[in-house]
Amino acid sequence: MRKCSLSNLSAVFDKISENLALYIPVDTNGGAKFEKYESGMVMSEALNTVRSAKDFFFPQIEDVAAFKVEGKNIEVVDTRVIKDDFVIFGARACDVKAFEVLDNVFLSDPVDSYYANRREHGIIFALSCSKPVETCFCNAFGIDCTEPKGDVSMWKTESEMYFKANSEKGEKILALVADLLTDGEEKVVESEKAKTKEVLKKLPLSNLSPDKFGGGKTKEYFDDPAWKSLSESCLGCGTCTFVCPTCQCYDVKDFNTGHGVVRFRCWDSCMYSDFTKMAHGNPRLTQLERFRQRFMHKLVYYPENNNGLFMCVGCGRCLAKCPISMNIVKVMKTLGGKN
Amino acid sequence: MQKISRETLIEKAKELLQNGTVSSVLGWKAGEFSYDVTPATFNSVEELEKDFVYNDFCGANFSKYLVKATIKAEGKILVFLKPCDTYSFNQLLTEHRFNREKVYVVGIPCEGMVDVEAIRKAAGEGIVSVECTNDGLVVDTLYNGKVKLAEQDVLLERCKVCKSKKHVAYDELLGDEGEVIESKRFDEVERLEKMTPDERFAFWQRELSRCIRCNACRDICPACTCEQCVFNNPKSGVENKAAANSFEEKMFHIIRAFHVVGRCTDCGECSRVCPQNIPLHLLNRKFIKDIDNFYGEYQAGAEVGSRAPLVNYTTDDIEASDAVRKGDGENA
Amino acid sequence: MNNEALIPQVCVITNVRVDTPDVKTFRVVALDGKKPFVHKPGQCAMISMPGVGEAMISITSSPTNEEYIEFSIKRCGCFTEWIHQAEAGQQITVRGPYGNGFPVDTAFKGQNLVFIAGGIGLAPLRSVINYVRHFPERYGTVDIVYGARSMGDLVYYKEIIDEWCKDSNINVHLTIDREEEGWDGHVGFIPNFVKELNFSTDKTAVLCGPPIMIKFTLEGLKSLGFKETQIFTTLELRMKCAIGKCGRCNIGSKYVCKDGPVFRLDELDELPDEY
């Protein structure tokens, strides 16, 4: 366990950013956001960023390939670039767990090389939560917010930041800033964790459980009449999917630049009316079906294919951001009975 | 705290359901916390008594929901409209977007709705509960204990600069009719007008670069009722789910603002729902201010059937060159 | 860097055949003149014209064809409109093959087979029919029931008459929806025709066609005593990645692009009704 005083944190940032790209959460008009560190930037105190950390590995938009078209001929240009190592500083336990959810999709055969490339070069400094809020329910999905995974785990006290490397990658970065760190006492971190755990017990969603969901429950929930009232006010916007750290559906589109064609992929949302639309019709005609798909995917379909792992990490972003305040907690409570 | 209570509204709804005037009620449904209210249809007194709420968090404007609800509904729908909602209601009627016969409007007073983000900023994160009292809000928090806040300090932006407490449409009114208010809503627009073009460009660049194209602003907007939006239509050539470059990022909002010119009632829903807190209403307000400035004051939705100045040519209309000059903030 | 499934290879159209007023068959080879890849009967590929679009299309040539692959495409959307005006020599991009294909080495082996198709639905079955024709010793009897709106809408009409009808172990049963001059074959819809043909249940049935035809034909087969485990069909949903990641063709825990497009009816019954 190593530590530095919070007043020395900017020196740590400066040192890391001299060597590789460093991203830290900073406050903006739109809430906290990961930005590339430049000297003088101050780390946000916010519990979490408005957008999740999935952007680092699965950005909202990225080029897949480019094409040169001349007459009847086509040339394919591989636009991929090997990324340099970069550090994500301050991702929370929920977002880090979400990487595991995304890994199961993008790193399963055939491997998505865009994602794999970023993932390989991303070094995660995960920060323990000390002040969880009412919308948090990571606990329901077996996540301990005081013990975040990642290459380095971090704990923050009133005056210090504690670091523990979990991987070689993490150790390498800590070695870079070794001069700025001193030995930290395990005891301090333990007491910090204990304090947070007391708060966790008091959270309004502390008893939420996904136990009634999981693989094999399609028939049980698919035709539940409650989907109608749950989905009736859904606007069909993409807010929940876009702020969600585990939503990973995407679209592939071509953009004619005037000099050639760039094929890019971008986030898509199963909540959108055209998501499944084909030349000859649409299998999900109303918002009920689209709404149901999102939650069935998270609570039943995904766990069925991934050894029971749910496609939700309880970060609470959808609770805070849905324009009509409909969210996975209400769905779980309504379908699974009040628990 | 709202002057009118949940109980009064339930009583009214009960009466109208029981005497057969309406068969369903569009109202606000209680959520997990004090503040996460969801629009919902209530079909019985039992449902109302169980989940109906009316408090400082009932910002949602139901007018747009009527477009779809009136198609499905067999009987009349009771809808509670706050003063600003009634402008959207009239505007939608002007555009023939729903059948007025299928709606029974009860106008209700509004003391302004609060913004939970503002409460979080003022009272601290971790809101256990919010109690709306005559004396302001009592916010119970995880880390700061009970915090008292004045509603005025945590109102939604649109309520801080409320333009009207007057109901411009209703079948029945609970409480007072209310008045149009001398509003400060153009102050922020003026501030933007005073910027140099470069500053203004930088301002919008900064704000709009946060957009994630979730379309919540469009989907909540009562002026956006196209059955298929051009941005969803693969055949339009501009259909897109993400901006392919930073130019497009701005174009979506600018095109949308143009499309609702003269129809936007300044209900503020776009900014209320934006997950990235982009002040989208300022684009619309700039247009409203310019229209007032060029053609005389015009409030969309103030009456049913009015012709907006931009679709009502007169020989006195401002010349394009003057419009550009005046639009830059120069008050000739 | 790894190979990337989303990056396609360039191929070239070497021949365009007009099958019906709205269906054309495109013969495609890689730039080296060879087959771009080896596939299984019933598999698909993503073909595209950059700037126009990309679409999942079933490979209609048999894997036993070692020279080229073929796609039979009905004009119905943006990309298909474009490719219908393409000529030989036009390059396109291809990636694949995708999907599970028909169980020609397992469930079909040694079985009597009845293929039932409507309209363009014969396209995905053509590769498996020609595969089965190539290895007659591996399978029992083969029946092909095929129908379309009119004589002119029968895809592969020449191939059916000149080749399939001449195979001794194949019975071809054609039908069109309405009487037509020059047609002395059966007239009527496929579901009824299937019932009239009164197939014995010692067969494995393979269905492909418009949803309404599938629905009623299934009822017909069931009334003849066919069990769900004896019936295979193929699904078609919107696809973008074709590798089970983009989420578009997800039904229940399955992705049509990688777990399908071929499903046995009892597998399909386990899935939510969203196709």
- Quick one: pLDDT band at residue B235, thresholds 50, 70, 90? confident
Report the alpha-carbon distance of residue C250 to residue A293 in Å, rounded. Answer: 9
Nearest to C44 by CA among C101, C5, C90, C82: C101
Contacts of A260 in chain B (CB under 8 A): none
Say whether B212 and A205 touch across the interface (CB within 8 A).
Answer: no
How many angstroms separate the CA atoms of B82 and B158, rounded? 13
3-class DSSP state of A267: strand
C-alpha A251/C-alpha C247 separation (Å) is 9
| C231-234: strand order across its sheet | C186-187, C170-176, C142-148, C112-118, C203-208, C231-234, C262-264
Shared-domain flag, residues C42 and C117: no
Parent domain of C263: 235-275
Q: Which of A191, A115, A134 has the alpha carbon at shortest distance from A160?
A: A191
Least CA distance to B47: which residue of chain A? A229
C242 and C223 inside one domain:
no
Distance, in Å, from the CA atom of A265 to the CA atom of A252, rounded to the nearest integer, reads 4
Write the CB contacts of A253 (distance below 8 Å, at least 6 apart in sequence).
Answer: A263, A264, A265, A266, B240, B241
Query: Which chains have 3 or more CB–CB distances shorter than 8 Å to chain A?
Result: B, C
Nearest-neighbour CA in chain A from B215: distance (Å): 5
Q: What is the pLDDT of residues B78-91, one digit of tens each?
A: 999 999 999 999 99
Looking at the structure, tell me whether residues C128 and C197 fall in a common domain. Answer: yes
> Same domain, yes or no, for C137 and C79?
no
A329 contacts in chain B (CB < 8 Å): 32
The residue out of C72, C98, C124 marking a domain boundary is C98
Asked if the ipTM is above 0.95, the reply is no
Of B224, B204, B207, B310, give the one whose Cα is nearest residue B269: B224
Q: How far is CA A206 from the centre of its chain?
A: 21
pTM exceeding the 0.80 threshold for the entire prediction? yes
Are β-strands A152-156 and A122-127 bridged in parallel, bridged antiparallel, or unpaired? parallel
Could you tell me if B215 lies within 8 Å of chain A, comparing CB atoms? Answer: yes
User: How far is Cα C164 from Cα C130, in angstroms, rounded to an integer?
Assistant: 9
Per-residue model confidence (pLDDT) at position A338: 45
Question: How many residues can be counted in chain B?
Answer: 332
What values do phi and psi take at A79, rounded to 5? -95, 5
Question: How remote is the C-alpha of C81 from its chain's centroid?
Answer: 20
* Nearest CB partner across the interface for A218, out of C76, C77, C272: C272
Q: What is the pLDDT, as a whole number, of residue B331?
A: 47
- Is residue C213 in a domain? yes
Q: How far is residue C249's CA from residue A249's CA, in Å, rounded to a whole number?
A: 10
Residues B133/B141, Cβ–Cβ less than 8 Å: no
DSSP, collapsed to helix, strand or coil, labels residue B38 as: strand
CB-CB neighbors (< 8 A) of C250 in chain A: 293, 297, 301
Largest CA distance in chain A: 71
**Residue at which a domain ends, from C98, C120, C138:** C98
> Could you tell me if residue C140 is inside a domain?
yes
The total number of structural domains that make up chain C: 3
If asked whether residues C140 and C241 sit together in one domain, one would say no
Nearest to C247 among A111, A248, A263 (CB): A248
* Per-residue pLDDT tens digits of chain C, which is 275 residues long: 678 999 999 999 999 999 999 999 999 999 999 999 999 999 999 999 999 999 999 999 999 999 999 999 999 888 999 999 999 999 999 999 999 999 999 999 999 999 999 999 999 999 999 999 999 999 999 999 999 999 999 999 999 999 999 998 899 999 999 999 999 999 999 999 999 999 999 999 999 998 889 989 999 999 999 999 999 999 888 889 999 999 999 999 999 999 999 999 999 988 998 87
Is the peptide bond between C21 and the residue preceding it cis, with omega within 30 degrees of 0? no
Judge whether C87 lies within some domain: yes
Say which CATH number the domain at C36 has.
Answer: 2.40.30.10
Judgement on whether residues C27 and C62 belong to the same structural domain of the protein: yes
Contacts of B30 in chain A (CB under 8 A): none
